[in-house]
Amino acid sequence: MTWNIWWRFGPRWRERQPGILATIDRFTPDVVALQEVWSAEGSTQAHQFADALGMHAVFASPSYPRTPEPTLTPEHDGVELGIALLSRWPILEQEVIPLPARHRSWDPVALRVRIAHPVGPLPVAVSRLEHATTFSDDRLAQARLLADLGTDPASDGPCPSLVMGDLNAAADSAVLRPLREVLVDAWTAGNGAADAVTLPSTHPSAPLEAGPELVDQRIDHIFYRPGHEDQLVSVESAVIAGDAVDGVYPSDHRAVICDFRWRNGRPGETYDA
């Protein structure tokens, strides 16, 4: 699962937390990439979710957008904004990697981890890309970096390599070409609906100012490649989640959930995530 969970932006952020947790719990994903995650007072939103779900968590910051300056409300004082990963299995390694960002005075990051999947290390890269379409040079450079992370020979092994996140670009956008050239779009591989949307204009607080390149598009993505040349990877399903829970939308984004299965080229060796 990958999901932009809207930090403390928008109305009723406290009331949205149970809906985020309930949605993750309903779909029981093994791995969850989260964007717009808060960190405050020695804890993070991701670690609180992990504690409630019996999962493991890692958090990194800063990420897009920049934490509001000046703060919009006293509740934002000292609160960081970042990205995170939840995993059913322990996290073996984590690395925080700066993204190229020539137009920003700060360094947004990607998060690369290796997860202790039962069959072997599962490599995952999580990020959120530049949202300003004016800065498409940065967006392309960031997509190239994610493509490099997803194809790094150090990720070769018994599990597929995953790249997940809010990439702020539609599936057919030129911004994502570096990823499409070397990785597989799991949504398409899983026969997900061609007209799927993850930033809908129908949301009560839809960021319509983002424009038609982002609004009413599928801008949240999961890409993958096999871990070795004989590995056969299939995406069993691809669905959208994030409907209102008790009348409250958990986020202005919808989540993308893909169910993977792979074989390592020998009879009986089939695995899931």
Q: What's the pLDDT tens digit per position in 177-202? A: 999 999 999 999 999 999 999 999 99
d(CA 224, CA 46): 23
pLDDT tens digits along 53-77: 999 999 999 999 888 777 667 677 7
pTM, entire model:
0.95
CA distances from 59 to 34, 81, 84, 110, 127 (A): 9, 10, 4, 10, 11
Is pLDDT at 271 greater than 70 in this prediction?
no
Tell me the pairing of strands 161-166 and 120-128: parallel
How high is the pLDDT of residue 196? Answer: 98
pLDDT over 70 (residue 268): no
pLDDT of the residue at 124: 98
pLDDT digits (tens, 9 = 90+) for 190-239: 999 999 999 999 999 999 999 999 999 999 999 999 999 999 999 999 99
pLDDT greater than 60 at residue 94:
yes
Question: Which residue has tokens 């839809």?
Answer: 206
- Say how many C-beta atoms besides its own lie within 10 A of residue 153's C-beta: 6
Q: What is the pLDDT of residues 98-114, one digit of tens each?
A: 999 999 999 999 999 99
Task: Supply the pLDDT for residue 67.
Answer: 81
pLDDT at 16 over 70: yes
Task: Domain of residue 149: give its range.
Answer: 2-272
* Confidence class for position 8, pLDDT limits 50, 70, 90: confident
Question: How many angstroms separate the CA atoms of 255 and 38, rounded?
Answer: 18
Q: Are 188 and 171 in contact (CB under 8 A)?
A: yes
| pLDDT beyond 80 at 141 | yes
* 249 has a pLDDT exceeding 60: yes
Domain total of the chain: 1
| SS percent in the chain: helix, strand, coil, step 5 | 25, 35, 40
Mean pLDDT of 23-38: 97
Average pLDDT over residues 162-190: 98
The pLDDT value recorded for residue 270 is 66
The pLDDT tens digits for 39-55 are 998 899 999 999 999 99
The enclosing domain of 200 has a CATH number of 3.60.10.10
| Token output for 238 | 């691809």
pLDDT at res. 236 = 97
Q: Does residue 62 contact residue 35 with C-beta atoms inside 8 Å?
A: no
Per-residue HEC secondary structure of 199-220 comes to: CCCCCCCCCHHHCCCCCCCCCE
The 3-state DSSP class for residue 20 equals helix
